[in-house]
Structure formats: C-alpha cells, structure tokens
Amino acid sequence: MFNFHKDHKNLVLVAGLVFIALSISIAVLPAYQMQEVEPIPDQKPLTANEERGLRVYVAENCMACHTQQVRNIEMDNMWGDRPSIPSDYVYSKKRMDVWRQSPSILGSERTGPDLTNIGKRQPSEDWHLLHLYNPRAVVPESVMPSYPWLFREKDSTLLTEDDKVIAVSKEIFNKPGKKIVASEDALRLVEYLQALKQTEMPGGDVSEFIPALRKERGESQSGKTGDGLDGAALYKQTCAACHQDNGKGITGAFPPLAGSAMVNDTDPEILIRVIIQGYNSRPDYAVMPPFGDMLTDAEIAAIATHERSSWGNDAPEVTEEDVKKIREYVENELNP
C-alpha cells in the first residue's frame, strides 16, 4: 500500500498526521477539558495580594524544589488531608493575560517539602519570613537558598508602622541601630504561602487516603479522637518548626519551652490558652498564631503534656477535659 522506503512524500504526510493526532489527544483535549473544572464548594479564590505572591513564587522558581500535588499513595499522606484533584487548581491556573497561560506550580521533585497544605501546617507569618531570609535559622539541615533580596536593612529610627520587622537573632544579624525589614514582594509571597490550604470536601467525603492519615494521628476511622495520641509526634508536626525538637526555640525569634515557667506551671490554663488563641505579648519574639481551629481538645492535651514532661520539664499531665473547659472559657469571652 505505502512504500515509505521510496515514497518519502507519503512518509512525511503520515508522520505529520500522526504528530497532529497525538498532539490533539495528549495536549489539546486535556487542556480544553481542564477549563471546565468547577471549584470545590467553599473554595476561596486568591486575593489580589495572594495572586501577586503567586507571581513572586513563580519568578523565584520555587517550583524547581517544591511540589503542590498530593498523590493518592501512603507516603504522601503527610502533605495533605486528601489527594489533590483538578478543582484544587481552579484559581491558580487563571491566565496571566491573553498571550500567557498560567505557570505550572505542580513541580516535579521534592528537594523541599510539598507545599499543598503549608498554610495549615505552618500558619506563622514570622516563621515564613525568617525562613526566606535565612532558612537554616529555623531548619538547621535545610539546603534551601536564602532570599536576601526580598528584604532590606533599615535604620531603627526610620521605621514606620507599615514596616514589617523580621525577628532575626543576633547570631545572624547584628548591626547596631539596624533592622531587617520585609519587602512588599516578601510579604505577598508569604500571603500566598499562607493561603495554600486544602479545601474540605463536601460532607468530608474523601477517599481511603484519609484513614491512613487518621491512623497516623491516632484517630479512629469515624474521625473521633481515640486514646493514645502521640504528643511527641503531634508536637513535631505542629510546633517543632518554631520551638525546635529540643524545645530550646530560636533566640530572638521563638521562645524556648524547656525550663519555661509558663509551661511548668502547675495550672496549665495559660499554656492551653496560648495554644488555642496564639500569643503576641512579647515584642522581643515573633507572633504565635492560634491553633484552636486546627487542633482537637485531645490533640492540644497531648501536645501540652509532651511539652510539660520533656527537656527537663516536670509538670502534671493535661487532660482533654482541661482543654475543653479552657476552650469554653475562651469562646464565652469572645462571644459573651
């Protein structure tokens, strides 16, 4: 029928048709179908500041080392509450303009951790800013490069209310009369990172990926917290990034828990309140965000008990009932 050895015209024609067919089926059709994806109910679009942060994220090529895709496999259950689905990317894939498609943020390798749910895992603005300025200040083993061009030095006497001063220890930056201030790009990038949170599926209906995560966190298949929560594991997952595994914190940024009078107090009320409400009463340290909406009473009790019995601390155990009472007090104060 065809003798491609001699009929080079037909060879080129058939090869061209095969190329066009494959391009349509592999690239064009899937791209067209992706335009019809609907957002998840309650999924919030990116704000103008968060969109600007996304552009900074792309400009700094963060996708080279970080992914934003949770696969439906056991090893990925630490990065999100469920596997990623197309709807998760509805707002981040908006075209930049008529000629330019949205940049790919999925990434292809994890030199650093996946960022799909980083806004939930690490909600602290101060932590992110310090991490960008000097990653090894908060994660000693980090291989992430520093981004000093996103910050500037400023005379202490010239600071304004709009300046965001970074909590940097003297070991890292020690110039009398000078402070490190975040640029607008740094602040917007952090806003984008804080916005990276998986939207809950309607009715909490997810795949079998979730029971594996619940098992790891000590929860039952029904979602109710069971006995035997691992306070050390929960602390490592929720608190260690700032207060460190050894409880010594980071000088000039995050206070130590080892030997802390508040942590060792026989009455755990203040400690529980800080975990639930956050803390911003010490200007010499960074702001601690609230974790009341992220953690159950049992998880807070397990974390508090771990903190009160580790690194030389010796204080009574905190129970789930203790946390429940304090949470009720806090809610009554906020909604009298």
Residue pLDDT, tens place only, 223-265: 333 457 888 888 988 888 889 889 998 877 888 999 999 999 9
Containing structural domain, residue 258 = 237-334
Residue type, 29: L
| CA-based end-to-end distance of the chain | 87
Question: Which one of 145, 167, 195 terminates a domain?
Answer: 195
Query: Angle CA(241)–CA(212)–CA(119) in degrees, nearest 5?
Result: 35
CATH number of the domain within which 267 lies: 1.10.760.10
Same structural domain, 53 and 191: yes
For residue 33, give Cα distances in angstroms to 91, 98, 199, 204.
15, 19, 22, 26
* pLDDT-derived band at 221, boundaries 50, 70, 90: very low
pLDDT of residue 50 exceeding 70, the answer is yes
My answer on whether 305 and 172 are in the same domain is: no
Mean pLDDT of the chain: 85
Note whether 188 and 242 are same-domain residues: no
Q: What is the pLDDT of residue 336?
A: 67
Confidence band (pLDDT; 50, 70, 90) for 204? low
Total domains in the chain come to 2
Q: Lowest-confidence range among 13-17, 69-73, 310-314? A: 69-73
User: In the predicted model, what is the mean pLDDT of residues 254-283?
Assistant: 88
- The answer as to whether 186 is a domain residue is yes
Asked whether residue 168 is assigned to any structural domain, the reply reads yes
Q: How far apart are CA 238 and CA 6, in angstroms?
A: 69
Q: What per-residue confidence (pLDDT) applies to 227?
A: 52
pTM of the full structure: 0.74
Q: What is the arithmetic mean of pLDDT over 8-32?
A: 89
Residue 21: inside a domain, yes or no?
no
Task: Determine the pLDDT at residue 212.
Answer: 45
Per-residue pLDDT, 152: 94
Determine what percent of the chain is predicted with pLDDT higher than 70: 89
Alpha helices in the chain (DSSP H): 8-23, 29-34, 48-59, 118-121, 125-133, 184-195, 209-217, 231-238, 240-243, 261-264, 269-277, 297-308, 320-334
